[in-house]
Amino acid sequence: MNAQQITIKGKVIDFDSKKPVEYATIILQTDDSLFIKGTTSGLNGDFILNNLGENNYRIVVHSVGYDTLSIDLFNVFKAIDLGSLMINQKTTLLSEVIVQSSSVIEGSYRKLYYPTKEQIVKSINGLQLTQRLLLPQIFVNTQTGQILYTGEKKLKILINGIEALSQEVIGIQPENIIRIDYYENPGMRYGEDIGIILDFIVKQRTNGAFFSANIRETLTHNFTYGQLSGGINYGKSQIKFYYFLSHNDIETSSFKHQTFLFPSGNTISRNEYGEKNWWKETTKMPNISYSYYGKKNTFNMKTNFNSLFQPHDDHEGKILIPEIDRLTNYKIQNKEQTFRPSIDIYFTRQISDNHLIALNVVGTYSKNTVDYIYNETDEDEIISNITTLVDGKRSSLIGEIFYERKYGENLLSVGLRHIQGYTKNNYSGTSIFKTQLHDAFSYGFLQYKGKIKKLNYTGNIGIHRSFFNQEGIANMYSRWMISPMVNINYILSNVLSLRYSYQLKNINPSLSYLSEVERLRNSYQLDKGNPLLKSYLMHHNELRISFNPSPLRSSLVLSSSYYNSPIMEETSFDNYRDIFITTYNNQKKFHQLRFQYNIGVSLFNNHISINSYGGYNKIVSQGHNYEHRRDEWFYLLQTIADYKKLSLTITMVHLPQPFWGESVSKGSSYNEYILSYRLPKMQLGIISTNLFGEKNRKYTYNFSALTRFKNMQNNVKMFPSFGIYGSINLTWGKQNNEKKQKINNLDSENGILL
């Protein structure tokens, strides 16, 4: 674009009265404050600056009786509409303006992140562009193509307001991403456990087609993931498809030391030497969707055909019991398969500029099978032979209606949601059980977002009813609950803000935990469901201090999560059956204190981008018969270095290991190195994980006084690994802006006790 085509325009508005400010002085400077040109606002507060070249700029707005407003614009390369610039006599405020730069623009409800021209050019897909934007508490896992949230809650990904998988972001052309809307603590409107929403605002094509493909192939062991997406546009309609494939075929070895403490005082130690652990899994996530974007109506229908096929999660080796000097052979064969088709229908009507109503209906059917075989032999003698075969089906229907109204900068949202489900699981083999579960969940919420000068606030109240009924079990579960949530954000300056949030959440028991089912693990222990479980409350408090002077983005987070009567595991010994039983019960409490510091920075004219965080967890898990305390440090460092068409990405990860009840799950710790080269519409690269032999072991712990164990998985056969990566993105056709979907639902329950 040549210099004569670049313009910067906007409108100066009085913050209190919302009226235009006439004859305000607008000065355009370089980023080091050298004067370029000036103008004044018109009768409607409008102004325009023409004939500008590509550069970094500073806009300074003066008016008698008002504070001075200064806005930095970095890497301006095309026309900019700043929107409404709010000024008043007491403080300088900037509402949700539109700025084509990499600066953080913070408004009442969200932060807007605009990619620079350099960031777009250096990225081959939307995933890489997300990396370079250095979004707070967001980590891009290049191993799986996922965008992850580093906080305690969940991340929701939207593309033009329509819920999407994070892998689908790979298929977006970087130049088609207008901006990313970043919602922090979005409230009950999007669900009680959502911490961050990323909404990718993407240009919608009015004709032509698009296609993208990405593949990652590990050469040293069998690990592959790939993605295909494409579509056709015609006027206001779009038909598109998406297909994601992940395949793993991995062999490892392991060592597990477990101690069984009997009431008599006798102790048995089992040392399991896993000489061959074989994990083979294929995940497929295809979908086809149709969208219509009218002037006031939006319609979207998506069909999903997700499937998981795990023919092998097998373990083979020897078991040594020193107390009785016994050495036996064991073999575990575990096969799982899930097919989950669903259809998602969405409709919205824009009644007026300030009124919107939306409807969402999701129907899901799930078919699940599990085959588990455990054999333990001593020469020709069979010590243990356990078989569990599960055939499960679940069908559910989710319906939601949502209404939204704007009052100036304030927003009122009201919604109703109902989920109706039926689950039937048949267990055969060593133990025979049949479970039929009816469940229903009704939920209504009221949410109000407002702004008082430098204070943004969100108030939420939710009322919901949970219902569970298992056929053949006299106990029926039904409970009403009220869940409040509040979020307050105080903008101290253009670069400093303080945020506090509180949530009281009701958590229902998992369907699988409620099943009256037993599953033998081995000859010493079994797992058992508990239909008498009750829902429990979680109190979450969070304080966040954000400091974002360009080019630095940072935040300090202090949080507390307190669970009252949480559902956690417990182990007891059944003297009559002479076996240890692990089940689930409402325990006393679980409390986690978390400290986390996030920092992102671009250096040397964006040639080096660093996104990192580090933190500390302090956890207390208290049951009726146990109390465990755990302290843990965690960190992540991701660095991207660019030189011409070459890019080097280094990721060092030690994520928190999930701890709940008496168990610590395997954490995700690895180092990854990617060297890539950009071609027109294409990128090729080489990948290595744990190149220097680090992080080749993973550990799992259980701290039960009766059945404690420590398990070590040795991955020396996998690392260091080497692989290749390729990506291509092609588009044809014109573009316009796409409307946004407001409601997104899904069902992932299966009710199987594993």
Average pLDDT of the chain to the nearest whole number: 85
**Phi first, then psi: what are they for 117, rounded to 5°?**
-60, -40
H or E element at residue 55: strand 55-62
Q: Residues 6 or more apart from 604 whose CB is under 8 A from it? A: none
pLDDT band at 667 (very low <50, low <70, confident <90, very high): low
638, 650 contact by CB (below 8 A): yes
Half-sphere exposure of 525 (CA within 13 A, CB side): 21
> What's the pLDDT score for residue 698?
85
Six-digit token string for 674: 């990617």
Q: What's the rounded Cα separation, in Å, for the pair 363 and 266? A: 53
Q: What's the rounded Cα separation, in Å, for the pair 709 and 522? A: 14
Q: What's the rounded Cα separation, in Å, for the pair 549 and 554? A: 9
Mean pLDDT of 77-90: 78
> What's the pLDDT score for residue 745?
57
> What's the pLDDT score for residue 370?
93
Mean pLDDT of 585-609: 91
158, 202 contact by CB (below 8 A): no
For the cut 80, the answer to whether the pLDDT of residue 112 exceeds it is no
Q: What's the rounded Cα separation, in Å, for the pair 412 and 218? A: 50
581, 575 contact by CB (below 8 A): no
Q: What percent of the chain has pLDDT over 90?
A: 40
pLDDT band at 739 (very low <50, low <70, confident <90, very high): very low
106, 497 contact by CB (below 8 A): yes
Mean pLDDT of 417-430: 92
What percent of the chain is helix, strand and coil (3-state, nearest 5)?
5, 70, 30
Q: Which amino acid is it at 57?
A: Y
CA torsion through residues 510, 511, 514, 519, sign = negative
For the cut 80, the answer to whether the pLDDT of residue 380 exceeds it is no
Angle at 264 between CA 259 and CA 266, to 5 degrees: 35
Across-strand partners of 413? 404, 447
For the cut 90, the answer to whether the pLDDT of residue 144 exceeds it is no
Q: What's the rounded Cα separation, in Å, for the pair 413 and 357? A: 10
Mean pLDDT of 676-683: 90
What digits encode the pLDDT tens for the residues 152-189? Answer: 788 888 888 777 888 788 878 888 887 888 888 777 77
For the cut 70, the answer to whether the pLDDT of residue 95 exceeds it is no
45, 11 contact by CB (below 8 A): yes
Mean pLDDT of 658-672: 84
**pTM as predicted:** 0.79
What digits encode the pLDDT tens for the residues 170-179? Answer: 878 888 887 8
123, 102 contact by CB (below 8 A): no
Mean pLDDT of 480-496: 87
Least confident of 198-212, 495-509, 697-711: 198-212
For the cut 70, the answer to whether the pLDDT of residue 642 exceeds it is yes
pLDDT band at 381 (very low <50, low <70, confident <90, very high): confident
> What's the pLDDT score for residue 16?
73
> What's the pLDDT score for residue 750?
53
88, 67 contact by CB (below 8 A): yes
Mean pLDDT of 216-233: 89
225, 751 contact by CB (below 8 A): no
**Which residue from 302, 18, 38 is spatially nearest to 163, judged by alpha carbons?**
302
For the cut 80, the answer to whether the pLDDT of residue 746 exceeds it is no
Half-sphere exposure of 442 (CA within 13 A, CB side): 5
For the cut 70, the answer to whether the pLDDT of residue 663 exceeds it is yes
| Range with top average pLDDT, 398-407, 463-472, 567-576, 722-731 | 567-576
652, 611 contact by CB (below 8 A): no
For the cut 60, the answer to whether the pLDDT of residue 749 exceeds it is no
Six-digit token string for 226: 């790939």
Half-sphere exposure of 375 (CA within 13 A, CB side): 12
For the cut 70, the answer to whether the pLDDT of residue 218 exceeds it is yes
Q: Residues 6 or more apart from 34 whose CB is under 8 A from it? A: none
Quickly count: other Cβ atoms within 10 Å of residue 741's Cβ: 25
For the cut 60, the answer to whether the pLDDT of residue 237 exceeds it is yes
Quickly count: other Cβ atoms within 10 Å of residue 681's Cβ: 13
Angle at 423 between CA 421 and CA 427, to 5 degrees: 170
pLDDT band at 747 (very low <50, low <70, confident <90, very high): low
Q: Residues 6 or more apart from 121 whose CB is under 8 A from it? A: none
H or E element at residue 28: strand 25-30
What digits encode the pLDDT tens for the residues 600-631? Answer: 888 887 789 999 999 999 999 999 999 999 99
Top pLDDT among 307 and 379 is at 307
> What's the pLDDT score for residue 1?
37
> What's the pLDDT score for residue 442?
92
> What's the pLDDT score for residue 41?
85
Top pLDDT among 325 and 665 is at 325
Top pLDDT among 390 and 406 is at 390
76, 57 contact by CB (below 8 A): yes
No. of helices (H) and no. of strands (E), the chain? 3, 47
How far, in Å, are 137, 149, 203, 640, 671 from residue 636 at the CA level? 10, 12, 32, 13, 10
pLDDT band at 516 (very low <50, low <70, confident <90, very high): confident
**Tokens 């569970």 belong to residue:** 468
Least confident of 221-230, 660-669, 682-691: 660-669
pLDDT band at 210 (very low <50, low <70, confident <90, very high): confident
Mean pLDDT of 722-743: 68
pLDDT band at 2 (very low <50, low <70, confident <90, very high): very low
Across-strand partners of 525? 580
Domains and CATH numbers, the chain: 1-97 (2.60.40.10), 208-737 (2.40.170.20)
What digits encode the pLDDT tens for the residues 520-530? Answer: 888 889 999 89
Give exposure, 586-595, as e/b (b: 16+ Cβ within 10 Å).
bbbbbbbebe
User: What are 351-355's contacts with CB under 8 Å, separation 24+?
Assistant: 351/296, 353/406, 354/405, 354/406, 354/407, 355/403, 355/404, 355/405
Least confident of 59-68, 134-143, 305-314: 59-68
